[in-house]
């Protein structure tokens, strides 16, 4: 009886095994078809943006099937990237940048014309250009393409190194010699490699939009005072001898002078230019003179006192108006607007630093 039952159930077991085998084959066929369709559906943009050298994979459902790694020219890209981003390598590059900067300082200190030790300077410059070019090529290989050009510091490195290579290949002459001055900007490449310096630059740049309004108000205020200064004083000292009744002596460098309470004041500056023309002859000169007042650099003795003590009255301008002009400018711009500008800048920098610290803390929590 048992044997009969086994004979009756064996065909069913065999049929179930066959159907299970067919189901597994069908599942594999469906899986392969999905992979093929996924590869065909990948856009050209996605393929171009993929990192060369990395193992591409296809995702089917919840599973990820690894593909063969890319070989050829890009096969060592990830290893090169890891090596290039090591702190020791970045420290070595930063040391080279500092040495190059110190070399430029020594050149301008010991040989400003660049002719006395011309051969030495050229050898050093070519050596640094070659080293920085190799470093740039390694960086481009390790981060090509999207990661490299997405960084503004990499773009800056590319421009500076390329300009240096132009002088390396051809002898710069005439106005093109000015390109050599860009060598001094190589030191800014340190900001990319030293995290603390990079944070400062990033915070300052991010604060610029916030302080632009305060800066614009200050610039407009200085411009208004410059326009008033040109209107009041651009002819100051040109013909005062006749107007004030002093004997006119065109041959004397102190043609226009006045004796006010025993103080002798000349209308001619140390550069033998009439006072009004030198300091307020044009809008640009007036703007620069007022910027000198803003910095506090001997403005009272050089810019203001010749007007206040030199002439009791000059056209529509009295001594009181002249004093009020300078005092109000200092109060409004130096004590109020400039401090507002600095306060807004500091607030933006501090708030930006706190946001960066918060973002780093959140990333650390996510990793944990």
Q: For the residues of 183-240, what is the DSSP string, one character each? A: GGGGGGGHHHH-HHHHHHHHHHHHHHHHHHHHHHHHHHHHHHHHHHHHHHHTTTTSSH
Which CATH number, 1.10.287.70, 2.30.40.10, 3.90.1150.10, 3.40.50.1400, labels domain 210-363? 1.10.287.70
Tens digits of per-residue pLDDT, 324-342?
A: 899 999 999 988 988 888 8
Question: In this predicted structure, what is the pLDDT of residue 262?
Answer: 45
Highest mean pLDDT among 29-43, 130-144, 246-260: 130-144
Tens digits of per-residue pLDDT, 11-59?
A: 555 555 555 555 566 655 655 554 454 444 444 444 344 444 444 444 4
Domain 77-193 has CATH 1.20.120.350: yes
Determine if the pTM surpasses 0.85: no
Question: In this predicted structure, what is the pLDDT of residue 137?
Answer: 92
Q: What is the DSSP letter of 122?
A: H
Question: In this predicted structure, what is the pLDDT of residue 290?
Answer: 93
Q: What percent of the chain lies above the pLDDT cut of 90?
A: 14
Average pLDDT (128-140) is 91
Average pLDDT (189-205) is 80
Report whether 325 contacts 229 (CB < 8 A). Answer: yes
CA distance 336 to 294: 11
- Phi, psi for 267 (deg, rounded to 5): -90, 0
Average pLDDT (143-156) is 86
Confidence of residue 359 (pLDDT cuts 50, 70, 90): low
Average pLDDT (175-194) is 76
Q: Is residue 157 scored above 60 in pLDDT?
A: yes
Average pLDDT (151-160) is 87
CA distance 15 to 164: 79
Question: In this predicted structure, what is the pLDDT of residue 307?
Answer: 76
Q: Is residue 101 scored above 60 in pLDDT?
A: yes
Question: In this predicted structure, what is the pLDDT of residue 286?
Answer: 93
3-state secondary structure 127-163: HHHHHHHHHHHHHHHHHCCHHHHCCHHHHHHHHHHHH
Tens digits of per-residue pLDDT, 111-127?
A: 888 788 888 888 898 89
Q: Is residue 294 scored above 80 in pLDDT?
A: yes
Q: What is the DSSP letter of 42?
A: -
Q: Is residue 144 scored above 80 in pLDDT?
A: yes
**Where do the domains of the chain lie?**
2-67, 77-193, 210-363
Q: What is the DSSP letter of 70?
A: P
Question: In this predicted structure, what is the pLDDT of residue 227?
Answer: 95
The token pair at 144 is: 């090509």
138 vs 180, residue with greater confidence: 138
Question: In this predicted structure, what is the pLDDT of residue 138?
Answer: 92
Average pLDDT (282-293) is 92
Question: In this predicted structure, what is the pLDDT of residue 170?
Answer: 67
- Chain-wide mean pLDDT for the chain? 73
Confidence of residue 160 (pLDDT cuts 50, 70, 90): confident
In 3D, which of 299, 290, 298 has the Cα closest to residue 332?
A: 290
Question: In this predicted structure, what is the pLDDT of residue 244?
Answer: 39
Contacts of 128 (CB under 8 A, 6+ apart): 96, 100, 103, 164
The separation between CA 248 and the C-alpha centre of its own chain, rounded to angstroms, equals: 56
CA distance 262 to 255: 17
Question: In this predicted structure, what is the pLDDT of residue 354?
Answer: 64
| Cα–Cα distance list, 319 to 3, 96, 256, 305, 323 (Å) | 132, 59, 17, 10, 6
CA atoms within 13 Å, Cβ hemisphere of 258: 22
Do the domains 210-363 and 77-193 match in fold? no
Highest mean pLDDT among 26-35, 37-46, 166-175, 314-323: 314-323
């Amino acid at each position: 009886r048992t044997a009969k039952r086994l004979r009756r159930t064996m065909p069913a077991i065999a049929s179930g095994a066959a159907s299970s085998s067919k189901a597994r084959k069908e599942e594999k066929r469906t899986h392969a078809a999905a992979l093929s369709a996924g590869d065909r559906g990948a856009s050209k943009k996605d393929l171009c943006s993929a990192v060369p050298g990395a193992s591409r994979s296809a995702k089917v459902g919840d599973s990820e099937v690894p593909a063969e790694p890319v070989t050829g020219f890009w096969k060592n890209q990830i290893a090169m990237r890891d090596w290039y981003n090591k702190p020791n390598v970045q420290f070595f590059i930063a040391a080279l940048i500092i040495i190059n900067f110190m070399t430029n300082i020594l050149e301008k200190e010991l040989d400003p014309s660049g002719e006395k030790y011309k051969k030495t300077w050229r050898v050093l410059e070519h050596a640094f250009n070659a080293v920085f070019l190799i470093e740039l090529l390694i960086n481009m290989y390790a981060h090509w393409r999207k990661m490299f050009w997405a960084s503004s510091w990499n773009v800056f490195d590319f421009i500076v190194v390329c300009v240096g290579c132009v002088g390396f290949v051809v002898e710069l002459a005439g106005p093109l010699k000015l390109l050599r001055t860009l060598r001094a900007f190589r030191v800014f490449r340190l900001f990319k490699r030293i995290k603390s310096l990079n944070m400062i630059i990033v915070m300052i740049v991010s604060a610029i939009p916030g302080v632009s309004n305060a800066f614009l108000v200050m610039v407009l205020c200085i411009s208004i005072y410059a326009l008033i200064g040109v209107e009041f004083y651009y002819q100051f000292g040109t013909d005062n001898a006749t107007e004030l009744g002093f004997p006119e002596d065109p041959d004397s460098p102190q043609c226009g002078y006045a004796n006010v309470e025993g103080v002798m004041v000349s209308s001619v500056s140390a550069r033998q230019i009439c006072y009004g023309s030198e300091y307020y002859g044009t809008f640009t000169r007036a703007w620069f003179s007022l910027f000198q007042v803003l910095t506090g650099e001997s403005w009272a003795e050089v810019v203001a006192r010749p007007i206040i003590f030199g002439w009791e009255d000059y056209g529509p301008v009295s001594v009181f108006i002249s004093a009020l002009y300078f005092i109000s400018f200092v109060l409004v711009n130096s004590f109020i607007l400039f401090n507002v500008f600095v306060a807004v800048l500091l607030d933006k920098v501090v708030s930006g630093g706190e946001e960066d610290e918060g973002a780093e803390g959140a990333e650390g929590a996510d990793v944990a």
